[in-house]
Amino acid sequence: MSQSTASSHPEIRETVRRLCTQFPGEYWRKLDRERAYPSDFVQTLTKNGFLSILIPEEFGGSGLDLSAATAVLEEIHRSGCNGGACHAQMYTMGTLLKHGTPEQKAKYLPKVASGELRLQAFGVTEPSSGTDTTRITTFARREGDNYIVNGQKIWISRAEHSDLMVLLVRTTARDEAAKPSDGMSVLLVDMRTAVGNGLTIRPIRTMLNHASTELFFDDLKVPVENLIGVEGKGFKYILDGMNAERILIASECIGDGRFFIDRASAYAKDRSVFGQPIGQNQGIQFPIARAYIQLSAASGMVDKAAAMFDSGEACGTEANMAKMLASEASWYAADTCLQTHGGFGFAEEYDIERKFRETRLYQVAPISTNLILSHVATHVLELPKSF
């Protein structure tokens, strides 16, 4: 590898890299063409315990911290693989772990840890609310021992490959709640019984293979015992989980960026035009060096945010900044790598165009760059709010 390797968790990194060699570019290209799910890859990570590393040992996981999880995802992405198919199995359970009852945790977490239950769908976004989550309208009406759910979600990843889903619903209408962020609740939906009984999943074909779907709820019954935490307080629980998600996705961007820099450097040394390696020209060298500098800075921010998360400090701002810097650094590295490859960058067999499409997502999801800028402007710099 052309770059110095990140030093934290060397054994985890080495093992993940070794596992990833079983899933070379052609494996991902075929899935990408067919828009198919990487079941073998996910099974291999599950079997080796990498998707349960954040689950405490008492529930069958390895009880490691977020910093260890960032090492796993960074190496997956640096190897040319894509953790998007299963990264949520690592962190979605955080809502249950932090806010679930002892009975709920005992019932679900050991099975999530073993991989017997896939808890990797997270239903928040709706077509008409967009980023303004307080305007979701999917509603759960209490009827005896059940909630009856009606509404619609969009962009819900992996819904077809998940046994359980953490779902954010309104239990009080926005205009009847004390404040807009009140009156939302989190339900744990058992997809195995829900589909065909009030829940319809419709896949959305997108520019990348991310198992995206749209969900339609039509009088879906969810037992009241599947409410997580206190009714009406769900927005706060979801926000809690978002910091982990943003830091982990930032680490995937760091891995993508390292992949692009590795590939660009190797190609620039190898490809000769006008009788010399293209990498001898500063017009080729400098963008790659700039990508490396930007990525190194972003990586430091990801490490900082993960360390703050692991020590229990409030890290919303740092998680946001890490995600923004990492997604922009990986995108610059992607563009540089493509340009370095000239026409070959567009050929499927180089995997550059696939990774280029994949890494672009992270400036939009799970939160878009403008919303991060707005958070820093108003919460950190105390500038007047625009909305």
Ligand X SMILES: Cc1cc2nc3c(=O)[nH]c(=O)nc-3n(C[C@H](O)[C@H](O)[C@H](O)COP(=O)(O)OP(=O)(O)OC[C@H]3O[C@@H](n4cnc5c(N)ncnc54)[C@H](O)[C@@H]3O)c2cc1C
Distance in angstroms (rounded) separating the CA atoms of residues 309 and 303: 10
Choices 7-15, 98-106, 317-325, 359-367 (CB under 6 A): range interacting with ligand X = 359-367
Sign of CA dihedral 369, 375, 380, 386: positive
210 is an interface residue for ligand X by CB under 6 A: yes
Choices 280-288, 296-304, 344-352, 360-368 (CB under 6 A): range interacting with ligand X = 360-368
**x/- contact string, 211-230, with ligand X (CB under 6 A)?**
-x------------------
367 is an interface residue for ligand X by CB under 6 A: yes
206 is an interface residue for ligand X by CB under 6 A: yes
* 96 and 119 Cβ atoms separated by less than 8 Å: yes
Q: How far is the CB of 119 from ligand X (least distance, A)?
A: 12
345 is an interface residue for ligand X by CB under 6 A: no
* 21 and 44 Cβ atoms separated by less than 8 Å: no
DSSP assignment of 187-247 equals EEEEHHHHBTTTEEEEE---SS-S-EEEEEEEEEEEEGGGEESSTTBHHHHHHHHHHHHHH
342 DSSP assignment = G
Helix (H/G/I), strand (E/B), else coil: 147: strand
326 is an interface residue for ligand X by CB under 6 A: no
Query: CA angle at residue 28 from 10 to 327, to 5 degrees?
Result: 60
Number of neighbours of residue 14 by Cβ within 10 angstroms: 12
Distance in angstroms (rounded) separating the CA atoms of residues 124 and 94: 15
* 356 and 330 Cβ atoms separated by less than 8 Å: no
φ, ψ dihedrals at 24, nearest 5°: -75, 180
Choices 45-53, 74-82, 257-265, 362-370 (CB under 6 A): range interacting with ligand X = 362-370
Distance in angstroms (rounded) separating the CA atoms of residues 73 and 300: 16
Closest-by-Cβ residue to ligand X is 130
**How far is C-alpha 269 from the chain's CA centre?**
33
Q: How far is the CB of 255 from ligand X (least distance, A)?
A: 18
Choices 99-107, 254-262, 312-320, 367-375 (CB under 6 A): range interacting with ligand X = 367-375
237 is an interface residue for ligand X by CB under 6 A: no
**Window 117-146: residues binding ligand X (CB under 6 A):** 122-125, 130-131
Please give the size of the binding site for ligand X, defined by CB under 6 A: 23
Name the residue nearer to ligand X (CB basis): 125 or 317: 125
**x/- contact string, 153-182, with ligand X (CB under 6 A)?**
--xxx-------------------------
Pick from 195, 365, 376, 377: which binds ligand X (CB under 6 A)?
A: 365
Name the residue nearer to ligand X (CB basis): 65 or 214: 214
Name the residue nearer to ligand X (CB basis): 224 or 365: 365
Name the residue nearer to ligand X (CB basis): 123 or 198: 123
Name the residue nearer to ligand X (CB basis): 173 or 371: 371
Name the residue nearer to ligand X (CB basis): 46 or 92: 92
* 6 and 264 Cβ atoms separated by less than 8 Å: no
364 is an interface residue for ligand X by CB under 6 A: yes
Task: Tell me if the bond preceding 110 is cis, omega within 30° of 0.
Answer: no
Helix (H/G/I), strand (E/B), else coil: 37: coil
Name the residue nearer to ligand X (CB basis): 123 or 287: 123
Instruction: Please report, as ranges, the residues that interact with ligand X according to CB under 6 A.
Output: 122-125, 130-131, 155-157, 206, 210, 212, 361, 364-368, 370-371, 374, 386-387
